[in-house]
Amino acid sequence: MKKLMAANWKMYKTVAEGVATATELAKLLADRLPADREVLVCPSFTMLSAVAPILTGVEGCFAGAQNFYPAGQGAFTGEIAPEQLLDLGCAYALAGHSERRHVLGEEDGLIGKKVAFGLDAGLKMILCVGETIDERRAGQVEAVLARQLEMGLAGVLEKATAANLAVAYEPVWAIGTGEVAGPAEILAAHAFVREKLVALLPSEGAAVRILYGGSVKPDNAGTIIRLDNVDGVLVGGASLKADSFSQIVLA
Ligand code: PGA
């Protein structure tokens, strides 16, 4: 499987800014993307229709969504359906990002529904998991990851494959803080996620990609991406500029 180098633009950028960044990124990556790398950018919904065609014009680059509501269509004011995302050229979507868990109050049950619904609709899903600093201090890292994986994947045990599912390990204390998890912490968490994936998905779990996220920058990406069981990265702050994200992609 190719390494998945993913950008999460969160709630940043106007349409014009998103188009400018995507255009610059496409120029920086076209014909330079190594054969073992795949690129994903998840912008706000508002600019998906403008940004997706720019990205998908580059071989190996994809557009994705940061969120959606798990229903086909209907009276869900303010929400976006997977079909609407596919219609805009999205190939991937995130579920369970820590900001949705901790700022928007999403719980494991809803996140599991999103993973299952998204896969059924034809999106490739990235399930985000990770502990808070209090949970880490209390020695609960493995218990938290196990619960988030079990509930997040409960509806897809028969249909998740290495091609349609990835997991992002993002320790909450390392997101947007500048505090990156050290190699030992990343190795231990990724090994645990791998073990759990193999237990939950016996035939596919060994190949499902596990991304690391949390203060990934151009100067630490090269080390992180070469660690055991690190099959990609999910980048927030450092993905907002084409130059810095392209350095991470090529690290
Ligand atoms: P960060 O965000 O790179 O700014 O820490 C990562 C994420 O939230 O996915």
Q: Measuring CA to CA, how many Å separate 234 from each of 66, 83, 103, 230? A: 12, 24, 19, 11
Q: What is the pLDDT of residue 177?
A: 86
Tell whether ligand 1 has an atom less than 6 A from the beta carbon of residue 213: yes
User: What parts of the chain have a pLDDT lower than 50?
Assistant: none
- Model confidence over 62-104: pLDDT tens digits? 999 999 999 999 999 999 999 999 999 999 999 999 999 999 9
Element (H, E) at 121: helix 108-121
Domain that holds residue 78: 3-249
From the CA of 238, how far away is ligand 1's center (Å)? 8
Task: Return the CATH number at 199.
Answer: 3.20.20.70
Q: What is the pLDDT of residue 179?
A: 81
Look up 190 and say whether it is catalytic: no
Ligand 1 atom showing the smallest separation from residue 234 Cα: 9
Whole-number pLDDT of residue 181: 86
Q: Is 244 exposed, middle or buried (0-12, 13-18, 19+ CB in 10 A)?
A: middle
- The answer to whether 37 and 60 have CB atoms below 8 angstroms apart is yes
Testing ligand 1's pocket by substitution, the residue of 126, 170, 173, 239 carrying the most ligand atoms inside 8 A of its CB is 170
**Residue 90 to residue 181: CA distance in whole angstroms:** 30
Residue 224 pLDDT: 97
| Confidence (pLDDT) at 149 | 98
Average pLDDT, the chain: 97
Q: How far is the CA of 170 from the centre of ligand 1 (A)?
A: 8
User: Would you state the pLDDT for residue 88?
Assistant: 97
- Count of the separate structural domains present in the chain: 1
What is the CA(213)–ligand 1 centre distance, in A? Answer: 6
Query: First-to-last CA distance in the chain?
Result: 17
Q: Which of 38, 170, 190, 204 is catalytic?
A: 170
Identify the sign of the CA torsion 238, 239, 241, 243.
positive
Question: Does the Cβ of 235 fall within 6 Å of ligand 1?
Answer: yes
* Predicted structure pTM score: 0.97
